[in-house]
């Protein structure tokens, strides 16, 4: 039996939270210049790492609606071994994993080599968009996990 949500999504409970989150989400998507594909890959991978069923489900569905192939969607969790991703996408997926798993690394949380590889493919505005997307995804993942928001649930 699937666990029931503990409460409604907190962003729906607190009237000021959802608009504030949406404004940050909008800025990361519209003011940043990274492609939607790159941002969605970062969102999906962070959600997989964090085990957020709500965001994995939503992210994969949105990517599929946007024309993403099944091969690439199925391979995001094993991107290092899969041939379906560009060097730039690989750099984002690596940056996403390091940024999401901050506590797993001794010393520098995001090594210079990981950052430098991403910076080789993306300019400052694109990187700002990518990093904000990763951070927002981690926020969504933590909120959804704490409150047990199930895959397919409505806000």
Query: Domain residues of the chain, as ranges?
Result: 16-145
Task: Tell me what percent of the residues of the chain surpass a pLDDT of 90.
Answer: 69
Spatial distance between the Cα atoms of 11 and 140, rounded to a whole number of angstroms:
9
pLDDT at 150 over 90: no
- Over residues 138-143, the mean pLDDT reads 94
From the list 124, 49, 53, the residue with the least C-alpha distance to 79 is 49
CB 47 within 8 A of CB 59: yes
Alpha-carbon dihedral sign for residues 125, 58, 151, 73:
negative
What pLDDT, on the 0 to 100 scale, is given for residue 116? 98
9 C-beta neighbours (distance < 10 Å), count: 19
pLDDT at 120 over 70: yes
Count Cβ neighbours within 10 Å for each residue of 105-142 and write b for 16 or more, e otherwise.
Answer: eeeeebeeebbebbeebbeeebbbbbbbbbebbbebbe
CATH superfamily of 16-145: AhpD-like (1.20.1290.10)
User: 23 or 9: whose pLDDT is higher?
Assistant: 23
Question: Which positions ≥6 away from 93 have C-beta within 8 Å?
Answer: 41, 42, 45, 76, 79, 85
What pLDDT, on the 0 to 100 scale, is given for residue 81? 97
- Over residues 51-62, the mean pLDDT reads 94
Residue-averaged pLDDT of the chain = 92
What pLDDT, on the 0 to 100 scale, is given for residue 1? 67
What pLDDT, on the 0 to 100 scale, is given for residue 104? 85
């Amino acid at each position: 039996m699937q666990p029931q949500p503990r409460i409604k999504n907190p962003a729906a409970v607190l009237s000021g939270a959802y608009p504030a989150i949406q404004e940050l989400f909008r800025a990361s998507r519209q003011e940043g210049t990274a492609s939607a594909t790159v941002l969605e890959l970062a969102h999906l991978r962070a959600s997989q790492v964090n085990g957020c069923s709500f965001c994995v489900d939503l992210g994969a569905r949105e990517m599929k609606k946007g024309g993403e192939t099944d091969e690439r969607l199925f391979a995001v969790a094993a991107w290092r071994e899969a041939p379906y991703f560009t060097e730039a996408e690989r750099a984002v997926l690596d940056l996403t994993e390091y940024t999401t798993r901050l506590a797993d690394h001794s010393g520098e949380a995001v090594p210079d080599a990981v950052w430098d590889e991403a910076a080789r493919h993306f300019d400052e505005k694109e990187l700002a968009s990518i990093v904000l997307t990763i951070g927002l995804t981690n926020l969504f993942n933590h909120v959804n996990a704490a409150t047990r928001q199930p895959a397919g649930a409505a806000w």
